[in-house]
A and B are shown apart, each in its own frame.
Chain A
Amino acid sequence: MTNAPPSSVKLPAVVGLALAVGALIALSWWMGQQAYHWLPVQASTAAPLVDGLFSFETALGTFVFGGVSAVMLWVIVMHRADKYDESDAVPIEGNTKLEVIWTVIPLVIVMGIAVYAMRVGETLGSVGPMEHIHLAQPAEDQGGYPGDRLPAEQIEVVARQWSWEFRYPGAKVSSTELHLAVDQPVTFRLVSEDVIHGFYIPAFRLKQDVIPGRAINFNLTPTREGRYRLRDSQFSGTWFAANQADVVVESLDTYQQWLKQSASQPLQAGISDAVQQYEDRKKLKSPGWATVVPAPPPQVNVPGSNTLPHDA
């Protein structure tokens, strides 16, 4: 060939490196696509945005991790000392140009990710402000959260040790199963009666701690009908793991019908697995250490269920 590269750059090495980088890029892209399958179903407007960001980070992470691992593997295979070779290697002490390169490139990459993530955060915020915090009113500190002072469309979420109670002040309904209308933006008012709890619905990709002494407004829009889990995500004591509830997303018609029917139901004990487990434990021969006593099951119109199969 007339335009062969100078002998210092070996053509097979360049081609080999290019092939390896190409393969790594392909692998990274594939992992980015796989990442969507590691997450629960997407059931809110936030979910596709969060998943897109996670997929992007998975692809980028695969490239970095794969690249470093490949270099390590290459060195382990190719640059091992021969048996009985006691000699030292060529003493390369460093290279300022390389140091600049591997400082600037990661800096640009992580700042790029952060800007992307901040934009996603803003979009989540425009879907509905992620949070609005104000101090609880003195009247609320007395222990009651009078529903008539809430905007009718808000749903009040009361977290306790250890049960979840959902109040629909407009419809005068309370429940231990959260019902939402699909594609309808909803605002929650999150309050805790004791310690910090976490309001976490994995299918929605959203989470907000519920802080005693504060009322936190929290917005989201469900996008897929189904039955999902709400889990307490902030350790709250002995029966923390049992502090779960079901979230039912249904069509607007079904939802409004549910509200209407529920309003006529008499108040009854809601779901509290913690109370059940506490009673079971008391019957044991040696019930163990004293624990915080679970709050009695909230009196609600609809207990609902938390044993039916759920989508996520």
Chain B
Amino acid sequence: MSIQNPLGHFVNGQGLWLTAVALSGVSSIMGAVNFVTTILRMRAPGMGFFRMPIFCWTALAAQSLQLIGLPALTGGAVMLLMDLTFGTSFYEPEGGGDPVLYQHFFWFYSHPAVYVIILPVFGIFSELFPVYSRKPLFGYVYVAVASFLIVGLGLVVWVHHIFPSGVAQWMRNFFMFSTMLIAVPTGVKVFAWLGTIWRGKLRLTTPMLFCLGGLFNFVFAGVTGIMLATVPVDIHVSNTYFVVGHFHYVIYGAAVMGIFAAIYHWFPKFTGRMPYEGLGKVHFLLTFVGANLNFLPMHPLGLMGMPRRVSSYDPEFAFWNVLASLGAFLLGVSIIPYLLNMLSSWVRGEKAPANPWNAIGLEWLLPSPPAEDNFGENVPTVIARPYGYGTGLPLVENQQSYEQALQEA
């Protein structure tokens, strides 16, 4: 972003964009208040924090990050709008401002923003691996607590985005160590998922395939993340395609694939119809191959020194760029079976039973789709942790009465 206004109009593109950022900042803060309050105040009877599904833990963690981080971005955007429109000089050196300040405001939120995206996807992985492995989540308490370690650390790593900028050596070292530490709670989660599928009874359904593919991509992104955290390597590859490759592995390879897993998993609950497995698997295969073909070539490009955000590049970068473009086309094509599946399943898919995946969870004690006020007056009391696969123990008091009601319906 800059405070240059080549059009010279009072109302201009950058001004509109900044207004939009400020407005969505405010709205997302309100959204975060809503999520946090709901999770803290409106849990089912008996659902203590350590009986909460991991998805709720990660949603709580992500929205806490929004609450802390977004004011910085929103304020930063407002200040830039003032510089652009009313001639203040928060960032303008001529008036005593500093453009690096904007980078700090931006990244103070925008690094945690990645965790806002990926934390709920960690929640999805933690929900789905137990269902399709028929085993409890390995180390539930550790996975839950790790979410909040990620929140705490995620707030003190932002300078790793601006290592080559005007920052002092001590900051480079401090933020390198804090960034490295994030690998630890993240590792706890990855190992917990491996522990969950280990010796399980795996069902390679579409949602499970998306989870496994997402986990694979996420671990790769973790490896390149460690490389980016080390200052000397980052000095070379920052602002190159290496960074673009890294975050696409996180955002598309892990987050989008996790979201697809969630859509296939909860589709019957949302719509009352079953999605088609065949189309789902085709969708997974195209997505997995397309994402890797699209984003892997970005790493050699960055190592060779191709800057990001360019409109053209030197001929020596053509080979990997062509491969990446082929992957991008494949990713585009991968959406076709997905849309086809969603539309046709919704219209004429097989009627979904209340609990098609034999999953444990409050939502699976309701018909598909649930009635408007889900349990109405008959809210169940939770008596166990959320992933009792293989234990044979009920999740809620009088579970049989709920299951019976579903059968009679």
Contact = CB atoms under 8 A, between A and B. Distances in A.
Contacts of A186: none
Contacts of A133: 166, 168
Contacts of B85: none
A39 B230 contact: no
B230 A114 contact: yes
Interface stretch (A17-25, A151-159, A175-183, A210-218): A210-218
Interface string B75-112: 00000000000000000011000111000000000000
B311 A241 contact: yes
Interface stretch (A5-13, A95-103, A163-171, A253-261): A95-103
B323 to A, nearest CB: 15
Contact of B202 (A76, A120, A214, A216): A76
Contacts of A111: 177, 180
B304 A211 contact: no
A216 B232 CA distance: 18
Given A72-B197, A75-B198, A94 B140 contact: yes
A202 B198 CA distance: 44
A90 B135 contact: yes
Contacts of B187: 102-103, 106
B353 interface: no
Interface in B187-237: 187-188, 190-191, 194-195, 197-204, 212, 215-216, 219-220, 222-224, 226-227, 229-233, 235-236
B233 A207 contact: no
Interface in A92-123: 92-95, 98-99, 102-103, 106-107, 110-111, 113-114, 117-118, 120-121
B151 to A, nearest CB: 17
A202 B304 contact: yes
B94 A141 contact: yes
A62 B222 CA distance: 11
Interface in A50-105: 50, 53-54, 57-58, 61-62, 64-65, 68-69, 71-72, 75-76, 79-81, 85-95, 98-99, 102-103
Contacts, number: 259
B389 A240 contact: no
Given A75-B202, A90-B199, A233 B238 contact: yes
Given A110-B183, A118-B173, A141-B94, A91 B240 contact: no
A89 B130 CA distance: 10
Nearest to A75: B197
Given A40-B304, A91-B390, A79 B236 contact: no
Nearest to B303: A38
Given A50-B236, A120-B232, A216-B166, A87 B201 contact: yes
B239 interface: yes
Given A113-B226, A241-B311, A72 B300 contact: no
Contacts of B275: none
Contact of B307 (A89, A113, A232, A312): A232
Most chain A C-beta atoms within 10 Å of own C-beta, residue among B136, B223, B300, B390 = B223
A72 to B, nearest CB: 6
B391 to A, nearest CB: 5
Contacts of B407: none
A79 B140 CA distance: 21
A89 B199 contact: yes
A209 B216 contact: no
B343 to A, nearest CB: 30
A238 to B, nearest CB: 8
Contact of A206 (B183, B204, B219, B235): B235
Nearest to B162: A209
Interface string A223-237: 000000101111101
A91 B387 CA distance: 10
Nearest to B201: A81
Interface in A262-312: 289-293, 312
Contacts of A208: 164
A27 interface: no
B4 interface: yes
A207 B238 contact: yes
A229 B308 CA distance: 15
Given A90-B135, A114-B180, A79 B216 contact: no
A107 B6 contact: no
A89 B135 contact: yes
B165 A202 contact: no
B345 to A, nearest CB: 23
Given A213-B98, A229-B305, A117 B230 contact: yes
A110 B191 contact: no
A142 B94 CA distance: 10
A57 B177 contact: no
B172 interface: yes
B149 to A, nearest CB: 10
Contacts of A234: 165, 239
B7 A50 contact: no
Contacts of B42: none
A69 B216 contact: yes
Nearest to A49: B232
B235 A88 contact: no
A121 B232 contact: yes
Interface in B1-21: 2, 4, 6-8
Contact of B204 (A80, A136, A289): A80
Given A94-B195, A206-B236, A207-B164, 5 more contacts: A91-B135, A95-B195, A209-B162, A229-B305, A237-B4
22 contacts: A38-B300, A53-B232, A64-B222, A80-B203, A80-B204, A89-B133, A89-B200, A91-B390, A94-B136, A94-B138, A94-B140, A95-B139, A114-B180, A118-B173, A121-B173, A131-B169, A198-B164, A211-B166, A213-B99, A233-B239, A237-B2, A292-B4
Smallest CB-CB A-B distances: 9 pairs: A213-B93, A202-B305, A91-B390, A61-B223, A88-B390, A81-B201, A241-B310, A117-B230, A94-B139
Interface of A: 38-40, 46, 49-50, 53-54, 57-58, 61-62, 64-65, 68-69, 71-72, 75-76, 79-81, 85-95, 98-99, 102-103, 106-107, 110-111, 113-114, 117-118, 120-121, 124-125, 130-131, 133, 136, 141, 194-196, 198, 200, 202-203, 205-209, 211-214, 216, 229, 231-235, 237, 240-242, 289-293, 312
